[in-house]
Amino acid sequence: MSLSEDSQDHLPWVIAVCTILSLAFVVGIPGNAFVIWTICGRMKQRSATVVLILNLAIADLLVLGTLPIWIYSIAHTWLFGLVACRFLTFLVYCSMYASIFLIMALSLERFIAVFYPFAAQRWKKKRATYAGVLTIWFLSIAFGAVVIPFRGTVSEDTGLDCMSYNYTSNSQLTACLLLETLVGFVIPFAIISTCYVCVGRRIGKMTCPSRRRSARLISSVVVAFALCWLPHHVFNTISVVSALMEDSYPETARELEDISNMGVYIAGAVAFLSSCINPLLYAFAARNFQSSVRLAKLSKLFEQMAPSVRQEATKEATSLTGKEETLTSMEMI
């Protein structure tokens, strides 16, 4: 979608999309850069949670760095060639997968820390943490590469359009969009939701402030991600349904396609907001920490988010022992 002569009717949508993307860039670039600087420059000891947050900020910064090019292309036209089009698209999708996989890892890490604190001790070693992070980036690159052959269309009338896809059949479109929605949202979010339902029930019975604080923060990251990415995948699903109904119900398929074409750009712009929200959540949470040095609040937040596993295990064991003693006393009565 660009402001060519045949697309002036889309002007309100173009303005809305460019405004959302500009907001994401202005807020997200300094926010994620500050998170990276805080963790790398002010924290000598980095827990598994902090390492995951660092990589989440890096993924968000990578995708936000491409926004000026997308904003210009949406408002005018694509000037950078097919190779750049596909590379930048790959970077965006790679970061999308990395974000959801990292958030899933944060959820699993919190689940293990709450339910299996002793077992978590060997998984929180640096070697295991970095191996997990490398695996996440490898999978993100692999799934992100799927979109490369299909992004960008070239025609004699309009030239290169980097905003569209050159699927050769409805089967190809359906397979690619379902893969993106299932791997990039449905399956990971099902795992994330399950983890937090279990963690929420367990933490409700505990009195450890740091656990409650970190669980609230990470759950906020999860909710923000879901709200930002859900519209994008809803329109993906509409496109799939339209493709499947094209032969049997052509009129309905065209109506669904029009709905998808109308909403896909706004939904895509909203998805970019997920990359700028996390630093805002960290900053808001850091306000709860009293410190004479303002810049130290964020690092203090990260330090208290994931206390040592040994301490957590001790607290857990003490808590369980206390409950067992109480139950024994009640049984004796």
- Give the pLDDT of residue 201: 73
- For the chain, helix (H) and strand (E) counts, in that order, are 12, 2
**Integer Cα distance of 212 and 206 in angstroms:** 8
- Which residue in 218, 188, 226, 263 sits closest to 48, CA to CA? 218
Q: In this predicted structure, what is the pLDDT of residue 70? A: 92
The pLDDT assigned to 283 comes to 65
Amino acid in position 213: R
Q: Could you give the CA distance from residue 55 to residue 278 in angstroms, rounded to a whole number?
A: 12
Report the alpha-carbon distance of residue 203 to residue 110 in Å, rounded.
11
Structure tokens at 135: 């695996």
Helix (H, G, I), strand (E, B) or coil at 128: helix
pLDDT of the residue at 225: 78
Query: What dihedral angle (degrees, nearest 10) is formed by the CA atoms of 237, 106, 227, 162?
Result: -60
Residues 244, 239: Cα–Cα separation, whole Å = 9
Distance CA 87, CA 102 (A): 22
Distance CA 197, CA 115 (A): 13
What are 41's two structure tokens? 């420059």
> How far apart, in Å, are the Cα atoms of 176 and each of 70, 109, 160?
22, 30, 21
CA distance 172 to 167: 6
For the whole model, what pTM was predicted? Answer: 0.81
Distance CA 140, CA 96 (A): 8
Phi, psi of 245, deg, nearest 5: -95, 0
pLDDT at 276: 87
Residue 129: the pLDDT is: 83
213: how many CB neighbours lie within 10 A of its CB? 16
Tokens of 221: 């990251």
Q: Are 227 and 139 in contact (CB under 8 A)?
A: no
3-state secondary structure of 294: coil
Which domains, from first to last, does the chain contain? 5-316 (1.20.1070.10)
Residue type, 67: L
Q: What is the pLDDT of residue 3?
A: 43
For the chain, helix, strand, coil in percent to 5 are 80, 5, 15
**pLDDT by position in tens, the chain (length 333):** 444 444 455 677 888 899 999 999 999 999 899 888 888 877 777 777 788 888 999 999 999 999 999 999 888 888 888 899 999 999 999 998 998 899 888 888 878 877 777 666 666 667 788 888 999 999 999 999 999 988 877 766 666 788 888 888 888 899 999 999 999 899 988 898 888 778 777 766 655 555 566 667 667 777 887 888 899 999 999 999 998 888 888 888 888 888 888 788 889 899 999 888 877 776 666 554 444 334 455 555 555 555 444 444 444 444 444 443 332 332 333
pLDDT at 297 (0 to 100) = 54
